[in-house]
Amino acid sequence: MKPPVFEYHRPESLDEALELLATLSDVKILAGGQSLMPMMNFRYVMPAHIIDINRIKELGEIHRVHDGVKFGAMARHDQAKKSEIILEHCPLIAAGMEHVAHAQIRNRGTIGGSLAHLDPSAEWPALLAVHDATLRVQSKSGERDVPILEWSQGFMTPNLVEDEMLTEITVAIWPEKHVYGFAELARRKGDFALAGAAVLLDFDGEVISRAALALLGVEVGPIRMIDAENLLVGEIPSDELFREAAEHVTVVAGIDDVHASASYRKKVASVMVRRALEQASHQHKSQALAA
């Protein structure tokens, strides 16, 4: 099926795009088009106007900033997977991108599109949650910053109003020797995950000095497992410690849908937490052996 008729706009600058958003109604922004175009073809959404932001050059950049990394909203999944800046400062993000869809979709899909679409199983929100990301939203009348954990306002509902655009995302980076883990379960490679976990750990000798742990696929938005993080800090990694941390998943409510029940998603998430923690701990051991 083809999409219904719409008027196409292709601004060359952010100001032009914000002006269009302020003046038009019944609008959708077109980023990578990997979710929007299927939804239009199925006629789930039928906007009167499309604003294609692919020509706005500054939105496609990834930069190192003083204590973090800044992504333009149009940075593509594949760009993040291969970026030297990401591989050096936030390698978990590059590792997570391996799990997003297929190569063709990663070539076009964007960080901003993923965050605005806000599928509960998307990898970006969880990867950004462990990095305490801040999302910059702009409109013609101003701008505001939204912490990643306040981004989801319900099922596939981001913290955005009609004339606003997500323009950039800044993540805090961790010390050079931090370690990470990412694990998810999908029915087939490239499918959305049933559930997954992203982990960052830092160590003081053998002891975990800092931990960040987020889940995807179990709630409508990304969630940080703060109790599990607190349990990990000050401890030496062990199977028992990781099992105990993974048990914290049981406190999450969980979501049911046609793909899986909440209880199944939580079981899967709990196993993914353990796997992600084991990956991180293994990396730490390898670093210690190499030192």
Ligand X SMILES: Cc1cc2nc3c(=O)[nH]c(=O)nc-3n(C[C@H](O)[C@H](O)[C@H](O)COP(=O)(O)OP(=O)(O)OC[C@H]3O[C@@H](n4cnc5c(N)ncnc54)[C@H](O)[C@@H]3O)c2cc1C
**Contact set with ligand X (CB under 6 A):** 28-36, 38, 73, 100-101, 105, 108-110, 112-114, 116-117, 122-124, 160, 165-166, 192
Q: How far is the CB of 54 from ligand X (least distance, A)?
A: 9
Residue 31 or 245 having the CB closest to ligand X: 31
**Separation between Cα atoms, residue 46 and residue 101, nearest integer Å:** 25
53 burial type by CB count under 10 A (0-12 exposed, 13-18 middle, 19+ buried): buried
**Separation between Cα atoms, residue 131 and residue 159, nearest integer Å:** 19
Question: Other C-beta atoms within 10 Å of 65: how many?
Answer: 10
Residue 217 or 237 having the CB closest to ligand X: 217
Residue 15 or 88 having the CB closest to ligand X: 15
Q: How far is the CB of 289 from ligand X (least distance, A)?
A: 34
The number of C-alpha atoms within 13 Å of 99 and in the hemisphere containing its C-beta is 25
Residue 118 or 231 having the CB closest to ligand X: 118
Residue 163 or 229 having the CB closest to ligand X: 163
Q: How far is the CB of 210 from ligand X (least distance, A)?
A: 26
Q: How far is the CB of 219 from ligand X (least distance, A)?
A: 15
Residue 124 or 182 having the CB closest to ligand X: 124
Find the angle CA(7)-CA(52)-CA(163) to the nearest 5 degrees: 85
Residue 77 or 248 having the CB closest to ligand X: 77
Q: How far is the CB of 191 from ligand X (least distance, A)?
A: 6
Please give the structure tokens belonging to residue 27: 């609008």
Residue 34 or 270 having the CB closest to ligand X: 34
Q: How far is the CB of 237 from ligand X (least distance, A)?
A: 29
Q: How far is the CB of 185 from ligand X (least distance, A)?
A: 12
Strands 27-30 and 49-52: parallel
**Separation between Cα atoms, residue 17 and residue 30, nearest integer Å:** 11
**Separation between Cα atoms, residue 252 and residue 3, nearest integer Å:** 38
Q: How far is the CB of 38 from ligand X (least distance, A)?
A: 6
Side chain identity at 104, as an amino acid letter? Answer: Q
Task: Give the torsion sign (CA, 185, 278, 245, 98).
Answer: negative
